[in-house]
Amino acid sequence: MSLTSPPLPSEEPLSRSEQKRRQILDAGRELFMAQGFADTSMDQVTARSGVSKATVYNHFPSKEKLFEEAVRTRAEEVFAALPELDADHIHPEEMLTQYFHALLQILLSEDGVCMCFLLMSEGRRFPDNARLIYETGFGRGLREMAIYLSQLDQRGILRIPDPHWAAARLLGLVMPPLPMMCAGFQPLEIPPAAEVRKSVRLFLRGMDAAA
């Protein structure tokens, strides 16, 4: 899966400045994911992006700013690609199965695995970077899932007295052991929707019993 972000056919053509900014972001993201923050230099970003150093610094005055924007834009792309959590029109089992199956396809893609490695490797040396990756990715996902589960509770569809706790338990059920898989102990295989549905059913029945 490519790490770059080609414009969709429906998007309006980018201005020259916007195109160069995207080239820089794509180059930075590729380098950060491949070799981490410390081993990536702005000179490398300049060379890979194909634009001048002055243009790179005009858009991103520091490596820190480039890293922050690369992480944030990638997070926005990921969440935009997921089904919208709908508590009003779609049965929870179907909604959660669709959502997590789509999410796993992203997480187990090439750049998804690289992001997991980056999160782990940045944790000790660059805790602010690691927190940014977590908050814009997994942290945001937990918050949005908690909101969805809270809506199910408010509408009387499912009894969930602690949505934040439940969101974390649900993610734990559905998600494979990503760090181990990234380390090569298990093959990177996207679970079929039927497997995702089994985890979702276990969660929904468990919540009924807990209530």
- The domains of the chain, with CATH numbers, are 16-64 (1.10.10.60), 82-210 (1.10.357.10)
pLDDT, position 186: 61
**Average pLDDT per 10 consecutive residues for the chain, totaling 211 residues:** 43 82 94 89 96 95 94 91 95 96 88 76 81 89 96 94 94 75 64 93 83 55
Cα distance between residue 58 and residue 146, in whole Å: 39
Both tokens assigned to 201? 């059913």
* CA distances from residue 34 to 11, 60, 110 in whole angstroms, order as listed: 28, 20, 11
pLDDT, position 178: 61
Both tokens assigned to 183? 């380390």
Both tokens assigned to 125? 């040396």
Which residue intervals of the chain are DSSP H helices? Answer: 16-35, 42-49, 53-59, 63-81, 92-107, 110-125, 127-134, 140-154, 163-174, 178-182, 193-210
* CA distances from residue 191 to 99, 104, 137, 174 in whole angstroms, order as listed: 13, 8, 20, 10
pLDDT, position 150: 97
Cα distance between residue 66 and residue 42, in whole Å: 9
| Angle between helices 110-125 and 127-134 in degrees, nearest 10 | 140
pTM: 0.81
